[in-house]
Structures are given as C-alpha cells and as structure tokens.
Structure 1
Amino acid sequence: MALTIGVPRETEPGETRVALVPDVADRLLATVDDLDIRVEEGAGQGAYHTDADYDAAGCLVVGRDATFDADIIAKVAPPSDDEVDRLGEGQVLVGFLSPLERPETAQALADRGVTALAMELVPRISRAQKLDALSAMSSIGGYRAAIGAAERLPAFFPLLTTAAGTVRPARVLVLGAGVAGLQAIATAKRLGAKVFGYDIREPTREEVESLGASFVELEVDIEADQDESGYAEQVEKEKQERQPELLQPHLAEADVVISTALIPGQPAPLLINEEAVAAMDPGSVIVDLAAPNGGNCALTETGEEIVAHNVQILGPTNLPAEMPVHASELYAKTVAAMIEEGLEADAFAPDFDDEIFAESCLTRDGTVQNDRVRGLLGTAEEAKA
C-alpha cells in the first residue's frame, strides 16, 4: 500500500507559503518507491505554484477531504481547530506547531492519536541542519526586516555623493545576533548603511564584526569584591537588568533599529523603552521581530505599524510569508528532509530513540511528549482549578 503525503492549502490569515513545492515533491516521488503526494487545489497559489505545476511534478491535485486522508500531513502554520478535527489515529503531522505558544493544540492532537512532529523543536545539531526550518525562516525574516526598514526610512541607506552635496549613510542598529539578526546586519550592510550590532552574548562579537558591523558593548560598573566567576555572573545579571538604560544613547543615534531578541515560549525582553523611542530622530524606523512575543520595544503593537514620537514602529508577525517563493522552497526542503529521515523500507517509521525524532516529537501514542509543553498544560489546568 502506497505511503501518502497530504499538502493542504494554508488557511491562517496572511499565510502564503506552502509546505511542499513542485520541485521538492518531484524529488520525493523519484526517491521514494510507492509514494503518492496529494495536494489540495490552490495550495500553492500564494507561493506562485499552480495546480498544473503540481500535476506535472506527479502529484495528485485533490479536494480538501482527500488531502487530509493521508498518512502524513505536511503543513506550514499550526493546525486550526477544523484541521485538528480532520486528523485521526495513526496520522502524522509535520509542520510549525507553536507548541509553547499553543499547548492546547498539542493536547488536542494527542487526544486524537496524532503523531505530531514540530519543526521548531528540531535539535540544533550538525546532523539535523538540513531539517532546520526555524533558521531558514529566521534568515528570511532578518533579510525582509532590513529591506522593509530601508523602504520606510525617509532617507537613503548608503553614502551618496551628488552635485548638491554628500548624504551620510543611515545608521542601523541590530539588537540580537542570532540567525535573523546576522542576516539583518548583512543585508543592511549590503544596502550601504553604517551598521552596528548588539547582543548580550559577548562571543557573538566575532560574528557581528565579520559582517562588517561594529559591535556595541555596554559598560557596566560593578564593585570588584568577588572572585572572577562571581564577578562575571554579576556583570551579566546587571547588564541584563540595565539593558534598556544602557542601550538608550546608542538607540538615539540610530536611524533604524531592528530588534530580534526572542526567547521561545517567553515574553520578549524589553530593550527599547519609551524614553529611547522619544530620543530618536523624527522619521526613524523600528522593526521589532520579537512582536509575536510582545516585542522588544515597549510601544510595539503586534501585527501593526504605528507612529509614536514621530518614530515608525513595525511589529510584523510573519515576514517569511512576504517572500513566499523562496520561503516555501526552503521550508519544503526541510519538511522533505524530515520525512526522508524517518523512512524505513519506503514506510514512515521514525526511530523515536534517535535524537532528531525524540526532540522534535510533540505528540505520540495519545500523549504530549515534550516536557515543557506538558508543564504549560499542567499550569493551565491548575489555573482552571
């Protein structure tokens, strides 16, 4: 009996990506014997892939019911309540599942006997790099943030010499030197801005400087009356607590600030207070990539673009969806890698003792597998009681 993969049309507002693109589907069909890929009508439309493209790749273009009647369901966004209700015992769901933000969805999937593999839980190990969808999407987000900031800034990014005089380059400050932050730094640098990068983790200095940016170091004065280890810990604690205050003069000098400091499942750390926003020049731009978790800026409104103290503050929640062609292509490759990793004799039978599946597995055998999600569910039950 053929292994079947279903690719539904995404229904979450603003989601334009698709979980498998025709080229990746074609490669999977060539690699795996006795495989059927069912793609819902119109699933690739937002990413500029037609039903005819999928048909030419060897996929079956079907209705929604037939799409969900598959062994493996490949999605981008977490499933809606309706989509959860369509899933059942023994099916496998692969996608971004927002387990720490939506633990109740994990419980619903477990109750229906679904094996759910969360792409954001894939471990950060070298063997799993090809499955790292989170990094791929973060890279797109960082790029898009820099492009969006350049579009909205009422001034040039690069140094420009004209007959009327010379225009100085824009000053761009990127907060957070993870994947998104580093991509934002690289993109702003390519656009000709003078770029500065900050991260509380000192080892990131080398990565920031390797991209041609200047590393912002926050000086903290602490009484040196303890051993070296204790001193370092105290400096770190003091720096964390005083970040908004210490960053304020650097923020005031920036034309653009791109903030990317985000901790999954936790409120985003406050880095930009209202006083810092008020100190920025009129027309300056803040792009807050931490908006889904409340934002690094005190004035950020999730999913909105506002103006406060004559500063433009953007709180995007899904920048990769603004680049659906490449976002879908990269995401599809990670999903295909996840499926291929779990194949055994052309059947999907992952080894849940393997680190990749042990960590990415959100639900299995009727239970929530992830400890942090179980803890969140327990906290929710206690609150109800």
Structure 2
Amino acid sequence: MIIGILKEPIDEARVALLPEAVKTLISWKVSVWVENNAGSSAYASDELYKEAGAEIHQRAEILQQSDLLLGIQAIAEDEIAKMKPSGVLMGQLNALFNPELTNYLVKEKRTAFSMELVPRTTRAQAMDVLSSMATVSGYKAVLMAADLLPRFFPMFMTAAGSITPSRVLILGAGVAGLQAIATARRLGASVFAFDVRQAAKEEVLSLGAKFVDVEGATEDKGAGGYAVEQSAEYLQKQKDTIHEHAMKADVIITTAQIPGRKAPQLVEERTVRAMKPGSVIIDLAASSGGNCALSQPDQTVEVNGVRIVGVGNLAANMPQDASKMYGKNYLNFLKLIIKDGNLNLNFEDDIVAGTCVCHDGKPVNSRIVQMLNN
C-alpha cells in the first residue's frame, strides 16, 4: 500500500507528517511517497524524509498511485479526479462548510475522511486535530496581541515608576481559550475569561484567571464540549456583560465557535468604539463569521485606535510543532484503519464512521447526511 503526502498550498506552512511520523508508518509495512519539498516550510528536507524511509516523487505521481492520500487543506476537484478510483482522501476538508466539495466527493463515489469531524469523545482525544491546532492558536494569539499592544503585559516596579499589568479578556474557554489564558498569565497579565459553559469555570479559575459569569445559559451535554445556540434574552445579557468588561480591557481574544454554524457575535460595534485607544482584539473565529462585529478574515482593521485582527490559520505560523502535533493525531487515527500494511475500513467503529465524509457514493458522518438532505 502506498501512502502519499502532498505539499500544501503556498499559504500553508505545515505538512501532514514530519519525517519522524513517516518512520513510524514505514514500520507498519507500508510505502510512503512524499511530494518534493513537501516539508520545506516546516524545516523538514527531502533528505530527512529519505532517511526516514520515504520516497520522493512528483505531485502527479502521488495523486495517481496513492492508496491513501494525506494532507491538511483540501485539494481541488481536478486533482481529486486524477486519483485512482479506489484511492482514499484524508485531510481537514472542512466538509460541513464546503458543501460543493462534499457533494462532488459523493457524486464521484470517492472515499474521504475529514479530520475536523473526529468525534469529541475521550477515546478520540488523541486524534483530535481541532484541539491540537487550537492549542497552537491560543498560544500564538496572545503573543500576537502582546506584540501589537503599546503596553507591557506584566506589572513592573521601576525607578521610573510602577507599570500596572495589562487586562486581558478571553471569550471562549475551550482549548484555544484555555491556552490563551495560560499564556497571558505566564506573561503577567490580569486575565478575565467568559464561556457559556459553566463546566469551564473551574478550569478558568485553576489557571489563575477570573471567570465572567452570565446566568441563564443553555447547555447540552451531547454537544461534545462545544457551546450551543442560546436564547435572544441570554445573548443580549451576554453582550451587555462583555461590553462592561471590554471597556476596561487592553486585549480581547475571541475563540468562540459552534461546529457547522456561523460563529456567535460577542463583541458589538458599540463595544469596540467604547474600548480604550491602543487596545487590541484578536478574533480567532474570523474565518467562520467572526466573534467581533468589525473583524475581517485575514485582515487588520483599526477603529478609534482599536486594532482588530481577524486571523484564521494561526497554526501555520508555528509549522514545526504544529506539524508534529497534527502528524501524531494522524498516526493515532491511522492505527484504526491500517492492518498488516493494508487499509481496513471498519465503519462499525464510531471514530472511523464519525470521521468519514463519504464512502462508495454514500455520506457516512451523520452531520454530513443531514446537511446533504437539507
């Protein structure tokens, strides 16, 4: 069996598997073909892949010969058409946000797995690329904010006087939010955090931040740790509370997202205009609609001296460790579908079925089935 690893688009510095992960795959009695310079932006040379046991090939060869094609971002339909009919495509395809690609895969009777669909269960944690990349994003968001802020993060006692610590407000206490809290605290900031899930309160407090409480939230234990949609009354109360805290904040980092839906708007235009000049907003949900009313994907907008940075793929800014974590998630998942050097797709396994977009012309993941039926 041949496993192919493709070079990502020019704006993506990560690679699906680093040489150390390739070495593990080789020990599973499979052949690994790597596109030339696939790992160069993650500082993994072709020579390192060769030393790990991989073969270096051109992209066209890998597309045509691979039994399993691994990547991060989705490839174009014309490249999918060049794959062998039995070839399996795997990556972070954003299948719920890209119905055109999903419909194409079903129509062409392809087998595809989308890693963002990995179930949010204890057993699947080691395969959860969203959590891994959120760790990177939360960390980098704080460093980006610290770089843009015209103030220190920590408190200083100097001969020139005292510097008070910056005040950081984190909206959303999932993986990215918790990592942002931890990083901001390490830098000495005074940190406040909000999340609709009361279960997040204990984690926020354990990291040394203060929890912003808004009573009346709807929670769903079946939501896999994600937030769920809230009532109009609660949403207004939430926005008013955030507005009060935002006016005192030097930095706001927003991380709140709902799978398959537009990101909830937490920071209104009136809130931005009420913030202190020099303040910074880092919106990690910009690519899915934005938590801030004024954020734009992959752009920095300035309003009344407040800089709003809409970021999408922050993980690509740390390609070495992000690729290492992504590759480990891949290996943990591949253990479920590779047996004795061959593909063995067991759709009785809830993780395999939950991650599968489609197989043999039929959608498999329940949310994909629902999306295509609507």
TM bucket by the smaller chain?
over 0.9
Report how many aligned residue pairs link the two structures. 360
Question: Which of the numbers 119, 139, 156 marks the counterpart of 2:152?
Answer: 156
Give the TM-score of the pair, scaled to structure 1. 0.90
2:35 maps to 1:14: no
Separation in structure 1 between the aligned mates of residue 275 and residue 210 of structure 2, nearest angstrom? 20
Question: Which of the numbers 300, 307, 326 marks the counterpart of 2:295?
Answer: 300
Any residues of structure 2 matched to 1:134-149 within 5 Å, and which?
134-149=130-145
Question: Which of the numbers 9, 24, 27 marks the counterpart of 2:24?
Answer: 27
1:29-50 deviation per Cα after TM superposition (whole angstroms, max 9, x unaligned)? 12x12x1100000100111111
1:13-32 deviation per Cα after TM superposition (whole angstroms, max 9, x unaligned)? 411110010001012212x1
| Alignment check: 8 A CA contact 1:320 1:327 kept | yes
CA displacement at 1:121 relative to structure 2: 0.9
| Alignment check: 8 A CA contact 2:214 2:237 kept | no
Separation in structure 2 between the aligned mates of residue 9 and residue 369 of structure 1, nearest angstrom? 27
SS of alignment partner, residue 123 of structure 2 = helix
CA displacement at 1:378 relative to structure 2: 4.2
Q: Which residue matches 1:291? A: 286
Question: Runs in 1 of length 4+ with deviation above 6 angstroms?
Answer: none
1:128-174 deviation per Cα after TM superposition (whole angstroms, max 9, x unaligned)? 22211111001111111111101110110001111100100000000
Query: In terms of mean alpha carbon deviation, does 335-344 or 312-321 score higher?
Result: 335-344
SS of alignment partner, residue 174 of structure 1 = strand
Q: Which residue matches 1:272? A: 267
Q: Which residue matches 1:335? A: 330
Question: Which of the numbers 42, 46, 50 marks the counterpart of 1:51?
Answer: 46
Separation in structure 2 between the aligned mates of residue 247 and residue 172 of structure 1, nearest angstrom? 12
Separation in structure 2 between the aligned mates of residue 267 and residue 237 of structure 1, nearest angstrom? 16
Query: In terms of mean alpha carbon deviation, does 263-272 or 106-115 score higher?
Result: 106-115
| Alignment check: 8 A CA contact 1:38 1:66 kept | no
Q: Which residue matches 2:97? A: 101
CA displacement at 1:236 relative to structure 2: 6.5
| Alignment check: 8 A CA contact 1:255 1:284 kept | yes
Separation in structure 2 between the aligned mates of residue 278 and residue 62 of structure 1, nearest angstrom? 54
Separation in structure 1 between the aligned mates of residue 209 and residue 38 of structure 2, nearest angstrom? 40
CA separation of 1:170/1:203 partners in 2, compared to 1, >3 Å: closer, same or farther? same
| Alignment check: 8 A CA contact 1:255 1:285 kept | yes
Any residues of structure 2 matched to 1:167-182 within 5 Å, and which?
167-182=163-178
SS of alignment partner, residue 81 of structure 2 = helix
- Give the counterpart letter for 1:119 in structure 2: M
Give the TM-score of the pair, scaled to structure 2. 0.93
Gapped regions of structure 2 (runs ≥ 5):
217-229
SS of alignment partner, residue 89 of structure 2 = strand
| Alignment check: 8 A CA contact 1:259 1:289 kept | yes
Any residues of structure 2 matched to 1:206-217 within 5 Å, and which?
206-217=202-213
- Give the counterpart letter for 1:95 in structure 2: G
CA displacement at 1:322 relative to structure 2: 0.5
SS of alignment partner, residue 317 of structure 1 = coil
Separation in structure 1 between the aligned mates of residue 215 and residue 19 of structure 2, nearest angstrom? 52
- Give the counterpart letter for 2:7 in structure 1: R
Q: Which residue matches 1:116? A: 112
SS of alignment partner, residue 127 of structure 1 = coil
- Give the counterpart letter for 2:152 in structure 1: F
SS of alignment partner, residue 244 of structure 1 = helix
Separation in structure 1 between the aligned mates of residue 367 and residue 99 of structure 2, nearest angstrom? 9
Task: Report the RMSD for the aligned CA atoms in angstroms.
Answer: 1.5
Question: Which of the numbers 75, 82, 102 marks the counterpart of 2:78?
Answer: 82
| Alignment check: 8 A CA contact 2:66 2:83 kept | no
Separation in structure 2 between the aligned mates of residue 205 and residue 183 of structure 1, nearest angstrom? 14
2:259 maps to 1:258: no
Any residues of structure 2 matched to 1:299-378 within 5 Å, and which?
299-378=294-373
1:173-220 deviation per Cα after TM superposition (whole angstroms, max 9, x unaligned)? 000011110010001001110001101112211010000000011367
- Give the counterpart letter for 1:364 in structure 2: H
Separation in structure 2 between the aligned mates of residue 370 and residue 219 of structure 1, nearest angstrom? 34
Question: Which of the numbers 238, 246, 251 marks the counterpart of 1:243?
Answer: 238
Question: Which of the numbers 45, 60, 73 marks the counterpart of 1:65?
Answer: 60
1:209-246 deviation per Cα after TM superposition (whole angstroms, max 9, x unaligned)? 000000011367xxxxxxxxxxxxxx976322432222
- Give the counterpart letter for 1:101 in structure 2: F
Query: In terms of mean alpha carbon deviation, does 87-96 or 368-377 score higher?
Result: 368-377
